């Protein structure tokens, strides 16, 4: 009986760890020019795709027409920018 509890506990720990790893690894990258920028609505548009972002954390110095590289995560039908960097 004790062996069954140990195996059950190990299985739960492994399943939880795998789920967390899958959630953490769901980032994507996009590159392009900023076509529309709206800090009040907290979104920007790059190549017909709209991304939500925090203008206080990432929006300093962003300008329309600037080439950027965006690392984002999709959740609840929206794209949330994690990092916005100048494209090289």
Cα(63)–Cα(81) distance, integer angstroms:
16
Domain assignment present for 5? no
**How many domains does the chain divide into?**
1
Signed CA dihedral, 59, 62, 63, 69: sign only? negative
Cα(69)–Cα(88) distance, integer angstroms:
8
Per residue in 13-53, pLDDT (tens digit) is: 445 444 444 455 699 999 999 999 999 999 999 999 999 99
**DSSP secondary-structure letter at 35?**
E
Domain assignment present for 18? no
Which range of residues forms the domain containing residue 35? 27-86
pTM of the model: 0.67
CB count, 10 Å around CB of 50? 14
| Cα–Cα nearest to 25, from 82, 70, 85 | 82
Domain assignment present for 61? yes
CATH number at residue 76: 2.40.50.320
Domain assignment present for 46? yes
Domain assignment present for 13? no
* % the chain with pLDDT above 90: 61
């Amino acid at each position: 009986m004790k062996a069954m509890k140990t195996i059950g506990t190990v299985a739960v720990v492994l399943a939880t760890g795998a789920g967390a790893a899958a959630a953490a690894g769901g980032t994507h990258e996009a590159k392009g020019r900023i076509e529309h920028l709206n800090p009040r609505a907290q979104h920007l548009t790059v190549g017909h795709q709209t991304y939500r972002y925090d203008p206080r954390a990432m929006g300093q110095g962003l300008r329309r027409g600037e080439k950027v590289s965006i690392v984002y995560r999709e959740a609840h039908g929206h794209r949330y920018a994690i990092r916005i960097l100048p494209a090289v």
